[in-house]
Amino acid sequence: MDKRGNLLDVRQLRVIFHTYRGLIKALNGVDLWMDKQERLGIVGETGCGKSVTAQAMMRLIEEPGKITEGEVWFENRDLLKLSEDEMTKIRGREISMIFQEPKSSLNPVFKSGFQIKETLLNAKKATPANAEEEVEKILGYVGMDASRVKNMYPHELSGGMAQRVMIAMALATQPKLLIADEPTSALDVTIQAQILELLSDLTQKMGNAVMMITHDMGIVAEFCDRVVVMYAGNAVEVAPTKELFQNPIHPYTQGLLRAVPRVGRPGELKAIPGTVPDLVDPPEGCRFHPRCDYAFDQCKNVLPPLLEISAHHYVSCYLCQKDGCPSAKKAGEEPW
């Protein structure tokens, strides 16, 4: 099979959740891929399935959720076909994760040093003899006073410190891929910048690929090589960062970029009209059609495939097949 990325290739990933309200079709055939050492951004409104995608890749979807379809090729293994034991060896060793709420992501009853040490030992990246030393080294890498911090419990750490511990823990095992699920959203603005810089430096040095899940277009612009835009359980547009900002094609991406306030254009923050669809009863066809200015009949029947419309630029929209892509200029807007 032709892999679209040499590290990761997620194909047609579908996840559902059984709830009392009905079946939530959370992921509706997500496609995304990454090369080694690449930094991929995943953006989209809240509830569009960013976190579920990451968790499904790690096979951490739990009851009432279920992965119903898809492939997650990581190097040359389909993670969805591995046994639970084999998968346990991928988690934390080859793919690590950090989360939005660093303080509640650390276990309150264990010292931070222990939690890092445990990860190292579990991944066999240290021996009981040198583990302590390794922990101090790693805490040093993330810019902390190791001898003090390793003996601190999570409730004694600030949010920024806790996220540094999480980063230390995640990168300690030198994973090939780090999934960062909104790693800075819960932090103060000044701390956000520091954490982002730290992540950037460390992963650059160590050569980890990073999947950055975020709401923040600023972070995407600064940090990511390439971006996946998700809408209601689908990847709707995939492009290199610069290309996406200069030439957003999917009507949803255009709306998303228009909704970002920009210097020099105060008061122009435009929200996308309409609301996020209910995933229990999502719109047929292109899930964006009820909110799309361009929607036509075809949009309402079958989900448009994700097609490469120019080099490395993929879009899932029928307009591109019909009468040319709806470029931002055509929509009467300045380009980003």
Partner 1 sequence: MNIWKYLIKRILLMALVLFGVACIVFFIAHVIPADPVGAILGGNAPPEKIDKLRAQLGYDRPLIEQFFSFLKGAVVGDFGVSIKTNNPVMTDIGIYFPATIELALVAIIISIVLGVFLGILSAVHRNKMVDNFSRVFSILGVSMPVFWIGLILILIFYYKLDWLPGGGRINFFLDPPQRITGMYLFDSLFTGNWEVFRDALLHILLPAFVLGYNSTASIARITRSSMLEVLGQEYIRTAKAKGLKKRLVIYRHALRNALIPTITIIGLVFGGLLEGAVLTETVFSWPGLGRYITAGLLSLDYPAVMGGTIYIAFIYSLANLAVDFLYALLDPRMRT
Question: Which one of the spans 49-57, 226-234, 235-243, 272-280 is the region binding Mg ion (CB under 5 A)?
Answer: 49-57
CA nearest neighbour of 94 among 174, 167, 36: 174
Position 105 contacts Mg ion (CB under 5 A): no
State which of positions 82-121 bind partner 1 (CB under 8 A): 84, 88-93, 96-97, 99, 101, 104-111, 118-119
* Interaction pattern, residues 263-302, with ligand SF4; x per rule: CB under 6 A: -----------------------x-xx--x-xx---x---
How far apart are alpha carbons 65 and 23 in whole angstroms?
10
Smallest Cα–Cα separation from 142: which of 107, 93, 178, 109?
A: 178
Collect all residues with Cβ–Cβ distance below 8 Å to 25 and sequence separation of at least 6.
14, 16, 233, 279, 280, 282
98-131 burial: b if 16+ Cβ within 10 Å, else e = bbbbbbebbeeeebbbbbbbbbbeebebbeeeeb
Q: What's the closest the beta carbon of residue 264 comes to ligand ATP, in angstroms?
A: 28
Catalogue the long-range contacts made by 302-305 (C-beta closer than 8 Å, 24 or more residues apart).
Answer: 303/28, 303/29, 303/234
Residue 17 sits in the site that holds ligand ATP (CB under 6 A): yes
- Applying CB under 6 A, the span of 45-53, 63-71, 134-142, 315-323 interacting with ligand SF4 comes to 315-323
Picked from ligand ATP, partner 1, ligand SF4, none, the partner binding residue 279 (CB below 5 to 8 A depending on kind) is ligand ATP
Cα–Cα distances in angstroms (integers) from residue 23 to residues 75, 149, 282, in the given order: 32, 45, 10
Which residues, in sequence order, are CB contacts of 51 under 8 Å at separation 6+? 181, 213
Burial of 259 (0-12, 13-18, 19+ CB in 10 A): middle
Q: Is 24 in the site for ligand ATP (CB under 6 A)?
A: yes
Residues 259-318 that bind ligand ATP (CB under 6 A): 279
Binding partner at 289 among Mg ion, ligand SF4, partner 1, none, C-beta below 5 to 8 Å by kind:
ligand SF4
Per CB under 8 A, 153 contacts partner 1: yes
Residue 133 or residue 284: which is nearer to ligand SF4 going by CB?
284
Q: Please say whether the beta carbons of 225 and 38 come within 8 A.
A: yes
Contacting residues toward partner 1, per CB under 8 A: 58, 60, 63, 84, 88-93, 96-97, 99, 101, 104-111, 118-119, 122-123, 153, 155-156, 166, 169-170
Contacting residues toward ligand ATP, per CB under 6 A: 17, 19, 24, 26, 44, 46-52, 64-65, 279
Contacting residues toward ligand SF4, per CB under 6 A: 250-251, 286, 288-289, 292, 294-295, 299, 304, 317-319
